[in-house]
Structure 1
């Protein structure tokens, strides 16, 4: 599977790894997640009902595809295991949608 140029995995190396049947597949290693900068505002949200990280991304960032930003800030390994009533730290999305141009016209 190709990695798009805007992907958060774009700069990671690609490895070859065997699956359960021994077939070799291209694989991307784990992406290290640095802690958010001290200047980033963090919102505290208490999960209720059917809320999940995709919903929180839509609510705070305007797009559910930014769910990984919240998942990166969580101490849990699997972000879908967050129980109802848990408090979730949501980093501010001040750079969501920001376009950085690297090409001169």
Structure 2
């Protein structure tokens, strides 16, 4: 893994929620993602387009019977970006739990 680094694209709360959900699965159905994040179709589509343009997600459209079904997954680049972003967040949090030597914390 590369050095921990915040990713501005993933850092936005909605996109962070999307990527976190996708990191826990292989493929995720659009409807499930929309409902679990409490987003509208258009809001989720916009965020997925942004993530797709960056190469972080892949979308697959198919039909189940006569109904369209869109599934989404993280690409290897998206998974790597998420992992380095989370590592940076964990680093920030761990520093908050250990006061610096010059601190007067009790």
TM-score, normalized by length of structure 2?
A: 0.29
Higher helix share: 2
TM-score, normalized by length of structure 1?
A: 0.29
Q: Which has the higher contact order (CA 8 A, sep 6+)?
A: 2
